[in-house]
Structure 1
Amino acid sequence: MSGPGGYVALGSSMAAGPGIPPRAPGSPRLAGRSARNYPHLVAEALSLRLIDVTYSGATTANILGESQFGAPPQLEALDDGPGARAQLVTITIGGNDIGYVPMLSAATTPAALRRVPLLGARLRELLDPAAREAALRTLEVSMRAVGQAVRAQVPDARVMFVDYLTLLPPATEPAPPLSARHAELGRHLADRLATITAEAAADTGCEIVRAAEASRDHHAWSADPWTLGTGFALAFLFGKPAPLHPNAAGMAAVADLIVAQWRR
């Protein structure tokens, strides 16, 4: 293949970087795709030709077969063409399947909203530990399906699952305005998501980049955060960083982890 090698980035907002300026040229506004997200930084560092189809709100289904706001399933980026000749594929996905950030956002809403018809039912479901456990069990299957599908499409590429940056402080530290109970549920979801991601990588012949582990001391309530705390969920639509998501420092840190792993 002539020219720079190919790199395809798949995933949700944790890879897209909503609200980190500037927005990736030509990208859908709803994607929240930053020109300084980790895919762009990795492509720049490794001189790879980037195809970035990360999209805020994406689930494993949006990688495997479901369109999202008119965007084709992300797996199609690996079809015939530059994507099919990719040397590197990264995948950051799963949080939306289990309602991880939505659950943390729901926990910050006034209790009165949880009694409102329709909206209240959804908020209560997000905060229900049993419902979150059921979502985790489903994710175990779908995350493995993502790894299998990507590996089948690009058998010669290096495929790296990249787990989520740590959002919450350890149990010994408060995370206002989250209650202790909701913060603990959030930590449980984060820990299980990291485990499921690593297991899917191992089971499908992919690599794992452990961003969660590397960022334990850089949670959103720390002195040197790589993620943002709570706030208005749709802030990125107004040019503001998205709460409970990576900041620019976090994206740079994840990019460094991927580049270091590539060079080993």
Structure 2
Amino acid sequence: MKSIKEITPIKTDDPFVILKHKNALFDYPLHFHNEYELNLITNFKGSRTVGDSVEKLEGTDLTLLGPELKHVWKSDNPISNAAVITIQFQEHFLHSKIMSYNVSKDIKKLLELSKRGIVFANPTKQKIIDLLLSIDNNDNFKSFLSFLEILHILSTSDDKKVLSSPPSANYSQKRESRRISLILNYVKHNYQKNIKLSQIANMVNMSESAFSHYFKKRTNLSFTGYLLDYRLGVVTKLLTETNMSINEISYTAGFNSLSNFNRAFKKKHSMSPKEFKLNYLKEVSR
């Protein structure tokens, strides 16, 4: 499904822009832009699509989306009572001087992770609602401090969940150790091959057992679990962005058995690849 590029209203000398809409119609198609975007939606019932994530929603939704991440919200109600508050800020904010200070390390990590899309639950959500309501414009220092406080609260929150898979969001982990970065980069460029644990352990001069313990400690996933998740992420990217057949997608993503592929996909998404694609197209097109 193709997405369009949105030109946002932020100016080059603005730290951010804040937009507020009542009775939002959610009639904008699947899109992306170069800026970060924090979205608070209240009184909403419908669906949210971010990368390859599609979720049904009701109530209040708070998300942080990184640059070039495709997204769309679709309302179930023809007459909307939903309200939207959006803060957009420029991509280069991540590389600004303020982000180079040690006190900003959590915010920098948050912004890197937001390239996959992040959704927040309570109590973080309620804290951010109160702060967002206090910001009327972007032309005074108090508003800028509130903006930084919002980013700090989000960066230290335990109530966040990542939405999209790395391949679908074109995401790469830049703050990992040299060994982990080497491994993740190898997977990124070789996931179609038959990758063995012994081969990866040799790459970083470790035994299989030592490497397995090390990788699990650093990523909270076994290596085989990470490799499977990465391949499934490639699958959802191809399902949502191409017209390739299921067989072609399975082979392209590195699965050597169609039955194993279907079983793994259904275990993760609770539906078949075909059902996933139909559901995705239905949500972004309605």
TM category, shorter: under 0.3
Higher alpha-carbon Rg: 2
How does the TM-score come out when normalised to structure 2? 0.24
More strand by share: 2
Bigger RCO of structures 1 and 2 (CA < 8 A, at least 6 apart): 1
